[in-house]
Amino acid sequence: MSQTEGYPYKTISELYNHPIAEEKVMTKGWVRTRRTTRTVSFVELVDGTTLRSLQIVLPHEKISQERIEAEIHTGASLAVSGILMLTPTRAQPFELIAEDYILYGPADPQSYPLQKKNHSLEFLREISHLRVRTRTFQAIFRIRGGISFAIHKYFQERGFVYVHTPILTPSDCEGAGQLFQVTTLPLYRVPMHPDGRVAYEKDFFGKPAYLTVSGQLEGELLAMGLGKIYTFGPTFRAEPSHTPRHLAEFWMIEPEMAFYDLDMTIDLAEDFIRHLVIYSLTHFEEELAFLQERYEKNLLNELNSIKEENFLRLSYTEAIEVLQRSGRSFQYPVEWGCDLQAEHERYLVEEYARRPVVIYNYPKHIKAFYMRQNEDGKTVAAFDVLFPRVGEVIGGSQREERYDKLIARMQELNMDLFSYQSYLDTRRYGSVPHSGFGLGLERVLLFLTGMTNVRDVIPFFRAAGQMA
Ligand code: 4AD
Ligand code: MG
């Protein structure tokens, strides 16, 4: 470029935060649109630092119309140097009068898939490498990044230690059998014992290994020394369901607290989510306004309502009674002991309570082995947090800290005690009451962004049959 000297680089958000009349600046970004008249061309430039675009005016007497028409198309990347002119009487507060530009990368208008019009989310899912060029995904990923920071901040400020639990694991934490197996054994000729068992001693770890479905078990071990911990990382579930709520790779936040009982844990979960909602409202005004306008007309009302109202707490038994009294004919019949289906959860949250609902004390046979058994012999000290539009965002429990009860339950479920030795050790040495929960990041992001499909709140989704 002829005139880089004396044109300091500023991002578009820096220009919006502090516009200086007649300042010489250079700014860089991608072309959203171009419009060419006889004497000037107008380019709408975006750079990802804000949802707002910068209007660039290219006078043809300075920059030839032929060059502009050959090079500047939607999607192309440019560095533009020029003079910032304030235009307080127009729709945009200022514009950059270009003196010159560099074309970093052209974008062929015949093949570039994004146009100015609003593309459907389904279409954008097929081009997940390019969808981040749209304001929708810039807003969503900006919120995702900010909320991740807010999550760390929340726990760090309350004395929780961030721990890293392993991704490769020998055991199935949730006992739901949704594990991805990891192996270096040759799949075309798996070594076998004469009796038909796989010769795992020849596998990389000398025993079967999987991608973790949850960091909880190791989180519990660490909480037994550190007191309060949290994990924040990817988890993997070979979940065959093709639903808008399930991913095969998703991010989970799992706090685990020594000396917490179920009530303290539900209080924490509620405070935590409320905090995230308030953080979004205060830090992502621009993004939320955009998402509300484009996708979910009630978004801000819904978010604001979380600030004021407490979640409704219902025991599982009460929830069953509410469903039975509803007079609804559900597709899945409701009786004590059944697992709550999406239709039941929706009724409870959206029609009965009209606010988030916490359900606690579930029947033990529908929940994981590690949950603390209640005195009634039938239920465990588990809880789920259910949200409008989304369903379950949190699952958690008080853990069974009593060695004998835990062993008995594991035996009842035919679990291989040998592979849970270290877990059982925590119950043999200095065991304490403790509790924790898991928040699905993508689920809470559905609520925060107004999106309806978890594939749209993670940059590159992995779901059954799909790797974006
Ligand atoms: O209810 P889940 O299975 O609980 C656990 O994994 C416990 N170990 C957590 C704990 O107590 N430390 O999963 C927790 C949350 C769910 O409430 C949901 O928000 C999310 O993780 N989740 C998923 N999100 C996206 N795709 C999936 N396939 C998910 N499965 C669970
Ligand atoms: Mg759950």
Instruction: State how far the Cα of 422 lies from the Cα of 242, in Å rounded to an integer.
Output: 35
Q: Is the dihedral of CA 104, 105, 107, 108 positive or negative?
A: positive
Instruction: Choose which residue among 216, 222, 252, 366 to substitute to test ligand 1 binding: the one with the highest number of ligand atoms within 8 A of its C-beta.
Output: 252
Please give the full DSSP string across 36-48, using - where no structure is assigned.
E-SSEEEEEEE-S
Same domain, 144 and 46: no
Same domain, 32 and 145: no
Same domain, 452 and 400: yes
Q: Say yes or no: CB of residue 174 within 6 Å of ligand 1.
A: yes
Same domain, 335 and 425: yes
- Whether 207 is in a domain gets the answer no
Ligand 1 center to 347 CA (angstroms) = 21
> Quick one: which of 13, 15, 40 has its CA closest to 25?
15
* CB-based contact 84:96 (threshold 8 Å): yes
Containing domain of residue 31, as a range? Answer: 12-105
> Quick one: which of 87, 107, 94 has its CA closest to 34?
107
Phi and psi at residue 37, to the nearest 5°:
-105, -170
Q: Say yes or no: CB of residue 391 within 6 Å of ligand 1.
A: no
Same domain, 84 and 164: no
- Whether 144 is in a domain gets the answer yes
- Whether 6 is in a domain gets the answer no
Nearest CA to ligand 1 atom 30: 246
* CB-based contact 257:268 (threshold 8 Å): yes
Q: At what angle do helices 403-412 and 421-428 cross, to 10 degrees?
A: 150
Q: Which residues pair with 30 in a beta bridge?
A: 46, 77
Statement: the pTM of the whole predicted model exceeds 0.85:
yes
Same domain, 304 and 365: yes
- Whether 195 is in a domain gets the answer no
Q: Say yes or no: CB of residue 435 within 6 Å of ligand 1.
A: no
Q: How far from 311 is each of 279, 320, 355, CA to CA, in Å?
A: 18, 18, 6
Count of domains observed in the chain: 2
Instruction: Choose which residue among 380, 392, 451, 457 to substitute to test ligand 1 binding: the one with the highest number of ligand atoms within 8 A of its C-beta.
Output: 392
- Whether 20 is in a domain gets the answer yes
pLDDT at 314: 98
Non-local CB neighbours of 21 within 8 Å, separated by 6+ positions? 84, 85, 86
Ligand at shortest distance from the CA of 236: 1
pLDDT at 5: 72
Q: Work out which ligand 1 atom sits closest to the CA atom of 438.
A: 9
Same domain, 173 and 219: yes
Write out the E strands in 179-248.
181-182, 209-211, 228-236
> How does 411-422 read in b/e, with b if 16+ C-beta sit within 10 Å?
eeeebeeeebee
Nearest CA to ligand 1 atom 15: 440
- Whether 198 is in a domain gets the answer no
Ligand at shortest distance from the CA of 171: 1
- Whether 448 is in a domain gets the answer yes
Instruction: State how far the Cα of 78 lies from the Cα of 72, in Å rounded to an integer.
Output: 8
Q: Work out which ligand 1 atom sits closest to the CA atom of 395.
A: 1
Same domain, 18 and 136: no
CATH number reported for the structural domain that contains residue 331 in this entry: 3.30.930.10
Q: Say yes or no: CB of residue 165 within 6 Å of ligand 1.
A: no
pLDDT at 136: 97
Same domain, 260 and 377: yes
pLDDT along the chain (468 residues), means of 10: 75 97 97 97 97 97 97 98 95 96 97 90 96 97 98 98 96 84 96 96 96 97 98 95 93 98 98 98 98 97 94 98 95 96 96 97 97 98 97 98 97 92 96 98 98 98 91
Pairing of strands 462-463, 466-467: antiparallel
Same domain, 57 and 163: no
Q: Say yes or no: CB of residue 396 within 6 Å of ligand 1.
A: yes
Q: Is the dihedral of CA 127, 125, 448, 144 positive or negative?
A: negative
Instruction: State how far the Cα of 46 lies from the Cα of 197, in Å rounded to an integer.
Output: 58
Q: Which tokens go with 21?
A: 């009349």
Q: Say yes or no: CB of residue 239 within 6 Å of ligand 1.
A: yes
**3-class SS at 171?**
coil
Same domain, 318 and 431: yes
Q: Say yes or no: CB of residue 345 within 6 Å of ligand 1.
A: no
Looking at 105, 122, 157, which one is the last position of a domain? 105
Instruction: Choose which residue among 230, 242, 443, 444 to substitute to test ligand 1 binding: the one with the highest number of ligand atoms within 8 A of its C-beta.
Output: 443
CATH number reported for the structural domain that contains residue 95 in this entry: 2.40.50.140
Looking at 105, 139, 164, which one is the last position of a domain? 105
Nearest CA to ligand 1 atom 20: 440
Q: Say yes or no: CB of residue 392 within 6 Å of ligand 1.
A: yes
Same domain, 444 and 326: yes
pLDDT at 4: 62
Ligand at shortest distance from the CA of 438: 1
Instruction: State how far the Cα of 280 lies from the Cα of 240, in Å rounded to an integer.
Output: 32
Nearest CA to ligand 1 atom 7: 438
Q: Say yes or no: CB of residue 461 within 6 Å of ligand 1.
A: no
Q: Which residues pair with 382 in a beta bridge?
A: 397
- Whether 287 is in a domain gets the answer yes
Ligand at shortest distance from the CA of 223: 1
Ligand 2 center to 19 CA (angstroms) = 49
